[in-house]
A and B are shown apart, each in its own frame.
Chain A
Amino acid sequence: MCSTCGCGSDENVSYHQPSSHKHIHEHTHENGHSHAHEHSHDHSHEHSHQHDHHHDHSHDHSHEHKHEHSHKKTVIDVEKDILFENNMLAQRNRGYFAAKNMLAINLVSSPGSGKTSLLEKTLIDLKEKLKFYVIEGDQQTTNDADRIDATGTKVLQINTGKGCHLDSHMILHALETLKPENDSILFIENVGNLVCPAMFDLGEKERVVIISVTEGDDKPLKYPDMFHSSTLCIINKTDLLPYVPFDIKKARENALKINHHLEIIEVSCTKGDGLQEWYDWLNKKVGH
């Protein structure tokens, strides 16, 4: 069991690579272990100062019956972010991406909003110009990784088992296997879930939240944490607008109420509308 980042469910996490049909696990884990352990040990020694408070409760005024209720209570100052393990490893990933001049993008949405569809289009349309890698996060199956593999892009599937989000520790292990080249773009498709992945920094530069017009224009209000922590919002499936009561102006307003920095792009992955604007955004982010 891996206790490096306290994610707890690591024994159920597995890594698969479609093109090589490998099932990767043990070795990478051991490497990660020894290293991260050193870290955490240093930390807890530095930061936990111990204070011994002796509470001698002898409220007795007569000297005859002096009971000594000296139960010892030790208060240890911890002063640590509960997610510090995840945040620390996310910083490590961030340093890795920076050193390799990589752009890492975390894609989040409800199940079925079109994360994999957007990736398939993007990888096919831009693969001559840019170098891509993909990490797929799903509880079960390698279906999404197989779809990415079919585009000719190097991909690693993480199956989180019961886990409802990816964390920075899983990404760290995935990178050991994926071994991305410098100057590339890494897409991380998170587990379809608009709640839990919001809290877990993976070390990404950009967080892209996708909603589709079949979901309701109040989605940003219902799941504010995700919209607050994202840098770009993609509204997908605009080809279905004639058939659903989705007020796109209202959806934009709602998203901006939650996060006034948020950029918003409307696309249809199936029809191709708006994809150029998304590609322009990507190119701007890699500095082309």
Chain B
Amino acid sequence: MHELSIAHSLLSIIERSVPSGNKGTVTEVHLDVGTLSAIELDALVFSFDIIKDKTISSKANLIINSIQGKGKCRSCGSVFPIDKFGEACPECNSFSIDILQGKELKITSISIED
């Protein structure tokens, strides 16, 4: 379950992003997660909820912006959405596909409320 390590990384990034002296509560954590990022979202949320207790993020919710995968065919050049690896080009059936987008795993912002 690598989602647990990911959740730990998330916590430590949050901790270091809150300016020292800010006594507010972290309420929202905004993430960009690509559909090809190898993350099970349910497992990530589950892990985060378990470990956030007694931390600065104990009241925080993960708000996930899912980013649709996008591939480009090397054979015919067409660009199309993909949800998983191993899908053929819808135009020419080639499997020579470069991933343009969808591997994102990023924390974009956090919200703190007094």
Contact = CB atoms under 8 A, between A and B. Distances in A.
Helix, strand, loop or mixed for chain A's interface?
mixed
B42 to A, nearest CB: 15
A86 B96 CA distance: 29
Contacts, number: 124
Contact of A224 (B10, B51, B84): B84
A83 B86 contact: no
A40 B16 contact: yes
A124 to B, nearest CB: 34
Which residue of B5, B38, B110 has the most chain A CB atoms within 10 A of its CB atom?
A: B5
A81 B85 contact: no
Chain B interface size range:
35 or more
Contacts of A167: 5
Interface in B78-114: 84-86, 88, 95-97, 105-114
Interface residues of A, number: 48
Contact of A225 (B31, B38, B112): B38
Interface string A54-93: 0000000000000000011111111111111110000000
A147 to B, nearest CB: 27
Given A6-B13, A44-B17, A164 B112 contact: no
B109 A78 contact: yes
Interface stretch (A14-22, A112-120, A138-146, A255-263): A255-263
Contacts of A6: 5, 8-13
B112 A73 contact: yes
A259 to B, nearest CB: 8
A7 B105 CA distance: 16
Given A80-B106, A85-B12, A221-B86, 6 more contacts: A6-B8, A76-B110, A78-B108, A79-B108, A80-B107, A199-B38
Interface of B: 1-2, 4-6, 8-13, 16-19, 22, 24, 27, 31, 38, 51, 74, 84-86, 88, 95-97, 105-114
